[in-house]
Chain A
Amino acid sequence: MTAETVADITLDTRGTLCPLPVIKARLAMDKMKPAQVLQLLASDPGAKADVPGWARVAGHRLLRQEERDEVFIFWVQKGEGKQ
């Protein structure tokens, strides 16, 4: 894997709690094309497990996940034919 994961869209959900990071991620995905990558920033501690769970069930691919200064950063690639 490359050191830098390139994102098509960045979504900042910092300062919001569950369910907003996942809801906003879903709404952002609706506007994206398959294989495009969403970069998601979240400060909700629940997001650490929520975003991977959402991505798996919704059929997207979690490419990468990082934690920097209590901010979770996810790179999620939109699945084929998924919402």
Chain B
Amino acid sequence: MSTETTVVQGLPGGELAEFQALHSRAHKETDVRRAAIVASKGTLDMAYPVLILASTAAAMGMEAGVFFTFYGLDIIQKKKFRHLKVAPLANPAAPIPVPNLLGAIPGATFLATRVMKFLMARQKMPPVEELLKTCQELGVRFFACSTTMGVMGVKPADLIEGADIAGAAAFLEFASQAQVTLFI
């Protein structure tokens, strides 16, 4: 009946029981899984991998936490997350591949961002705002780097609701129990 047993059907009785015991023990040991992600960039193309991986980890039943530091802090700033941009400068893979010199002219970033947002919307990708909401609904923890806030003059009121202000130690404590650690 069960599809799980089909994998081990070929094993003799004793080995099957042993396999199942091993399997259930292994499953218990990693029952609570955790993903710790550092978001260090504030461009649209860097926000998406962070939010997609964090929300998916949570959807898989993992505990997920993101440490937003330096430019990455823009992703959880109320006045900024709707206006993240794609930089065509020094980015040969930008939606409109342009020579660096042209990427530096006014309007090039605006245009590249417009194109990326259009491509995203065409594939029904949720905007950053919606992914942030999904993350929070699924219980993803947001850590706002206190040093970045100090250096960049970001006030607690500038952050979206539910983001915790934290330093490196608090995030590292969270990450020390993680099986998945990513720096984006």
Query: A and B: partners?
Result: yes
Chain B residue total in the interface (Cβ 8 A): 19
Would A20 and B124 count as touching, CB distance under 8 A? yes
> How many Å lie between the Cα of A19 and that of B53 in the bound state?
8
**Taking chain A's interface residues, is the majority helix, strand, or loop, or is none over half, making it mixed?**
mixed
**Contact of A48 with B by CB under 8 A:** no
**Contact of B62 with A by CB under 8 A:** yes
Chain A residue total in the interface (Cβ 8 A): 23
Would A22 and B33 count as touching, CB distance under 8 A? no
> How many Å lie between the Cα of A33 and that of B58 in the bound state?
19
Flag A15-32 by CB within 8 Å of B: 1 or 0 each: 111111011011100000
> How many Å lie between the Cα of A54 and that of B61 in the bound state?
9
Flag B36-60 by CB within 8 Å of A: 1 or 0 each: 0000000000000000100110111
Residues of B near any A CB (own CB < 8 A): 1-4, 33, 52, 55-56, 58-62, 123-126, 134, 138
